[in-house]
């Protein structure tokens, strides 16, 4: 009996040692680094490319990267009980605090894979594996431009204050994506459904918030994301205000199946529900979307699988 207890003690001690070593690695070990294999890329910008890049960046990237100075200098982005405090990066042209030293190829590589020029991962929140090469070039062209929003800012963000779960998430779960081996071309706008899918999963990334959870989204095959466009994903701001993303699948009772295209247009562009009430500030209006884009998004959303999921309009901290 004593021998059994002794062996059991050794086993339990060994397991405890493994657990403690694992916890020490997660909490004290360095973040992983990855090899940077940036393509040899040089973007030649014209006025049309710059205008489209401005539209995409200021209606998408700026939601997270706009700082208090009005530039894309970064700010506190999330204050989460599970992950911790995270700051968005300074993406102005400052050579030290921002992205001024990045080559066009390094910017493309970061945006596609999340791997920064120093080999560290930027996280899963700013990867654009399905963005067309043309739109990617437009984004890079604007970030390189003389626009006031990207002029050098010395604002430096503090290191992220990750919880234990946050460190485990970034060390064990987040994995950079591979750089695309083939060109990515957006469908022609004349093919409304295909173009709408591209807008919803590539250019504007609607599915990321409007599926069940950021953690269960599928970057390369968005349709395989849990609860695809069925909503219910908790979205928070830096002040810990939280709301659940809306169900925008074509379910008539819990989604937008009973809406008209005109009502959808009012919601997306101007933040107004069919009953006249406003959307949460966590779903900022996008007035820069074109008629063609709204029509294509609407056409595509009519084709996605119905998800019956009644989402409460408000969750924590009084967001309405």
pLDDT-based confidence at residue 319 (cuts at 50, 70, 90): very low
For residue 80, the cross-strand partners are 84
The pLDDT tens digits of the residues spanning 127-168 come to 899 999 999 999 999 999 999 999 999 999 888 898 988 888
Sheet holding 76-80, edge to edge: 76-80, 84-87, 161-162
**What is the pTM for the complete model shown?**
0.90
Question: What distance lies between CA 167 and its chain's CA centroid?
Answer: 18
Residue 205 scores a pLDDT above 60: yes
pLDDT for 110 equals: 97
Residue 318 scores a pLDDT above 50: no
pLDDT for 29 equals: 82
Q: Are 301 and 256 in contact (CB under 8 A)?
A: yes
Q: Are 219 and 177 in contact (CB under 8 A)?
A: yes
* CA 252/CA 307 separation, integer angstroms: 10
What lies within 8 Å, CB to CB, of 54 at 6+ separation is 142, 145, 147
Cα four-point dihedral sign 258, 262, 263, 269: positive
For residue 84, the cross-strand partners are 80, 162
For residue 125, give the DSSP letter: G
Residue 287: which of 274, 263, 272, 268 has the closest Cα? Answer: 268
Higher pLDDT, 169 or 139: 139
Q: 87 by DSSP, 3-state: which?
A: strand
Kind and range of the H or E element at 299? helix 291-301
pLDDT for 1 equals: 64
């Amino acid at each position: 009996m004593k021998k059994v207890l002794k062996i059991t003690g050794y086993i339990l001690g060994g397991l405890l040692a493994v657990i403690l070593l694992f916890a020490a690695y997660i909490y004290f070990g360095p973040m992983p680094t990855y090899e940077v294999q940036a393509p040899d890329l040089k973007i030649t910008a014209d006025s049309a490319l710059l205008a489209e890049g401005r539209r995409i960046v200021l209606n998408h990237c700026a939601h997270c990267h706009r700082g208090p100075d009005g530039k894309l200098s970064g700010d506190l982005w999330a204050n989460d009980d599970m992950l911790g405090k995270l700051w968005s990066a300074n993406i102005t042209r400052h050579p030290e605090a921002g992205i001024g030293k990045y080559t066009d190829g390094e910017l493309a590589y970061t945006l596609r894979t999340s791997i920064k020029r120093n080999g560290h991962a930027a996280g899963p929140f700013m990867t654009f594996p399905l963005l067309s090469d043309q739109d990617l070039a437009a984004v890079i062209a604007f970030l390189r431009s003389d626009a006031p929003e990207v002029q050098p800012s010395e604002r430096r963000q503090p290191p992220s204050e990750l919880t234990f779960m946050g460190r485990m998430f970034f060390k064990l779960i987040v994995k950079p994506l591979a750089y695309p081996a083939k060109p990515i071309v957006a469908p022609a706008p004349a093919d409304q459904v295909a173009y709408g899918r591209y807008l919803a999963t590539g250019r504007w990334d609607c599915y990321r918030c409007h599926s069940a959870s950021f953690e269960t989204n599928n970057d390369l095959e968005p349709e395989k994301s849990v609860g695809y466009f069925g909503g219910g994903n908790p979205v928070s701001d830096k002040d810990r205000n939280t709301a659940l993303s809306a169900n925008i699948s074509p379910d008539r009772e819990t989604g937008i199946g009973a809406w008209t295209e005109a009502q959808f247009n009012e919601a997306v562009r101007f933040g107004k529900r069919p009953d006249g009430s406003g959307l949460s500030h966590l779903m900022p209006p996008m007035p820069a979307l074109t008629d063609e884009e709204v029509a294509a998004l609407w056409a595509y959303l009519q084709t996605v699988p119905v998800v019956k999921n009644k989402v409460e309009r408000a969750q924590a901290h009084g967001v309405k």
